[in-house]
Amino acid sequence: MNKGIYDPIPAMELKEISERYDELEAEGLSAIRRGEVAAVLLAGGMGTRLGFDAPKGTFNIGQNRPLYIFECLINNLKEVTDKAGVSVPLYIMTSDKNDEATRSFFDEHDYFGYPRSDIKFFKQAMAEAVDFEGNVLYEAPGKPATSPNGNGGWFHSLKEVGYDKDMRQRGVKWINIFAVDNVLQRICDPVFIGATVLSGKVSGSKVVSKAAPDERVGLLILEDGHPSIVEYYELPTEIAEEKDEDGRLKYRYGVILNYLFEINELERIVDTELPLHKVEKKIPYINESGELIHPEKPNGYKFELLILDMVRLMKDNLAFEVEREREFAPVKNLHGTDSVDSARELLVKNGVEI
């Protein structure tokens, strides 16, 4: 939990990025061509808000043709690898709950044209869930309900299966990590990579200017002078609403779950304990008659480690601004804000046939 003194974080803003675009892109493409970049897709979540039983990445966001979320992501990555002329290794984190379904989906769809040998899967750890009174929930008689332990344990889980060594053997220095649900996600974006490398920092975060003070995104700030992310529900309203002299939100940089981390820095922090976040979720459970209930509203807590807490542990971090209309279309719900509907609209706006 954050407790220090907050200040706004200076970012590399859109104007500077556009002025230095060619220089930054060239630097990033060189790193990719040297084999120094890997991608990690976080696909272990349960996506309970979407209310779709299968892994979220297998959701068909197409309207006139099938277009799966995983396919959108692979297409976005391919744009970069085609430009660079080399493939990038992609590691996909799943969980006990969706590993098999994810692997077979990729297999059935021929990895959407991505080189099979460059895709590897690994499973994250699980954690038990409790009801609001703290009682353990059961998913079957004698079997406590478990759920994935959040997206913060990914490097641990990746190391457990030896993929850190796999990366080292390939000469990987940078890991671009991203969420499954943003269909406009720019993966291994050479401009972002170039900017982070040239900044001399050990990590970078893609950020968008918040649409409104109460938008539900984590906020990148300085906490006691150090880059850190505050969850939207932990941010006091008066700070969220504060304006600077140009009338813009003073604390405006929301994170979109797209980070670049130097692998040595990840090794340095991997054993540092991250805080456990208590998150209200819908947790399937068996009732006294032994029936499996799928609750309509949150009925308990899951305990999650969050990747956003890793940013505070990094020696430093570059805030890199991106245009939300071009890079941020998260699919959290079926309708409304951050939904299938809003993501479809944004895909069309960006020229993607759906």
Which long-range contacts does 57-63 make (Cβ < 8 Å, 24+ apart)? 57/102, 57/105, 57/180, 58/101, 58/102, 58/105, 59/331, 59/340, 61/183, 61/331, 61/340, 61/343, 61/344, 61/347, 61/354, 62/354, 63/344, 63/354
Residue 286 phi/psi, 5-degree rounding, is -95, 140
SS (H, E, C) 194-257: HHHHHHCCCEEEEEEECCCCCCCCCEEEEECCEEEEECHHHCCHHHHHCECCCCCECCCEEEEE
- Of the candidates 84, 80, 78, 82, the one whose C-alpha atom is nearest the C-alpha of residue 33 is 84
Q: How far is the CB of 180 from ligand UTP (least distance, A)?
A: 4
Task: Return the residues of window 126-145 that contact ligand UTP according to CB under 6 A.
Answer: none
Chain residues 319-338 in contact with ligand UTP, contact rule CB under 6 A = 332
How many binding residues for ligand UTP (CB under 6 A)?
20
Q: Does 151 bind ligand UTP (CB under 6 A)?
A: yes
Sole binder of ligand UTP in the list 93, 175, 347, 352 (CB under 6 A): 93
> In the bound complex, what is the minimum distance in angstroms from residue 56's beta carbon to ligand UTP?
6
The residues, ordered by sequence, that sit 6+ positions from 265 with a Cβ below 8 Å of its Cβ are 202, 203, 314, 315
Crossing angle for the helix pair 21-33 and 69-84, to the nearest 10 degrees: 90
Q: How far is the CB of 42 from ligand UTP (least distance, A)?
A: 4
The nearest distance, CB 179 to ligand UTP, in angstroms, is 3
Q: Is 181 in the site for ligand UTP (CB under 6 A)?
A: yes
- What's the Cα-to-Cα distance from 58 to each of 52, 53, 140, rounded to whole Å? 10, 10, 26
Closer residue to ligand UTP, CB minimum distance, 43 or 129: 43
Of 178-186, 204-212, 267-275, 346-354, which part binds ligand UTP (CB under 6 A)? 178-186
C-beta of 46 vs 183, nearer to ligand UTP: 46
Least distance CB 287 / ligand UTP (angstroms): 22
Smallest gap, in angstroms, from Cβ of residue 114 to ligand UTP?
18
Q: Which of 8, 28, 47, 89 binds ligand UTP (CB under 6 A)?
A: 47
Residue 132 Cβ vs ligand UTP, minimum distance, rounded to whole Å = 17
Q: Whole-number minimum distance, CB 245 to ligand UTP, in Å?
A: 34
d(C-alpha 310, C-alpha 307), whole Å: 5
Query: Measured from the CB atom, is 127 or 198 closer to ligand UTP?
Result: 127
Q: How far is the CB of 64 from ligand UTP (least distance, A)?
A: 26
Q: Are 125 and 149 in contact (CB under 8 A)?
A: yes
Asked if residue 124 binds ligand UTP (CB under 6 A), the reply is yes
**DSSP H helical ranges for the chain:** 14-19, 21-33, 69-84, 99-108, 154-160, 163-170, 190-199, 237-241, 263-269, 308-313, 324-327, 340-349
Question: Is residue 218 at the binding interface for ligand UTP, with CB under 6 A as the rule?
Answer: no
Among 6, 24, 29, 44, binds ligand UTP (CB under 6 A): 44
Give the nearer residue to ligand UTP in terms of CB position, either 151 or 196: 151
Binding of ligand UTP by 346 (CB under 6 A):
no
- Check residue 179 for interaction with ligand UTP (CB under 6 A): yes
Interface residue list for ligand UTP (CB under 6 A): 42-49, 93, 124, 148-151, 179-181, 257, 281, 332
